[in-house]
Amino acid sequence: MADVTTGDLVPAKIVAVSKSSGAPLGSPPPVPCLFNPFEYTVSKSNTWEEKSGENDTPTAEFKKAGAQTLKLQLFFDTYEFPEPANDVSLITNLLWKFMEVKSNDEGEQGEKIPPPWVAFEWGVFRFISVITQMTQKFTLFTNKGVPVRATADITFTQYVDTQDYPAQNPTSGGGPIDRVRTITAGDRLDLISAEVYGDATKWRCIAQYNGIRDPMVLRPGMRLRIPPYKSLS
């Protein structure tokens, strides 16, 4: 796949990594995202037990820390690809490799090799975990029955402390990274410019960077690329 998505953004990707060091492994191969996720959700829960205290005031006793989870939906579309590369399952099937349990032919009979640890990487965000749940849905087909569009809902569960892992360089070229802003109702380019640059007059740079001719037609859900400040003219 290309080094950028269809929107010219650095693509998110899922990479098999070493549990001990977080270093990328060669197998299974990384799966880049042609379309970056619209959003992702990170959550964590801890277990506390309520006990009776003095004057009938309950107290809480900590029991255990829960795992951190990342949930996201990936979108794949190969409709415009030439045959036979337009089969979207050629890409989505690679995701199942991250959940594949293998037999250890060299070990005891019945011994299984667990699925690999993975890292979901997008810009400066890196989440090292195992994939605990995945659902794929194919939503568009050619007249030959070839799937050309699919979504994948994935849950990553983190059972390791990632603070000890070395930091990763989010870009291969070392250049500045575009920020992405999702438009909500009431957003205006001048207000966004004032928020991110401290200068409302830079709104024209944002408009030009995104090919926007009419700054009054921002739509909720639309995603803007925010250019690095030092690249502004």
40-51 and 31-32: which strand pairing? Answer: unpaired
Give the separation between CA 210 and CA 112, rounded to whole angstroms. Answer: 50
Percent with pLDDT over 70 in the chain: 83
The model scores a pTM over 0.75: no
**Which architecture characterizes domain 13-164 according to CATH?**
Beta Barrel (2.40)
- The three-class DSSP label of residue 122 is strand
Average pLDDT, the chain: 81
| Domain range list for the chain | 13-164, 179-231
Direct distance between the N- and C-terminal alpha carbons of the chain, in angstroms, rounded to an integer: 32
Percent with pLDDT over 90 in the chain: 25
Chain segment 160-188, per-residue pLDDT in tens: 765 555 555 544 444 445 577 788 888 88
CB atoms under 10 Å from CB of 87, counted, come to 17
pLDDT at 60: 85
Chain segment 135-156, per-residue pLDDT in tens: 999 999 999 999 999 999 999 9
Q: What are the tokens at 50?
A: 């309520």
- When comparing pLDDT for 39 and 205, which is higher? 205
CATH node for 179-231? 3.10.350.10
Given a contact cutoff of 8 angstroms between Cβ atoms, the answer to whether 17 and 25 are in contact is yes
Interacting residues of 143 by C-beta distance below 8 A, sequence separation 6+: none
Cα 176–Cα 225–Cα 188 angle in degrees, nearest 5: 130
Given a contact cutoff of 8 angstroms between Cβ atoms, the answer to whether 41 and 71 are in contact is yes
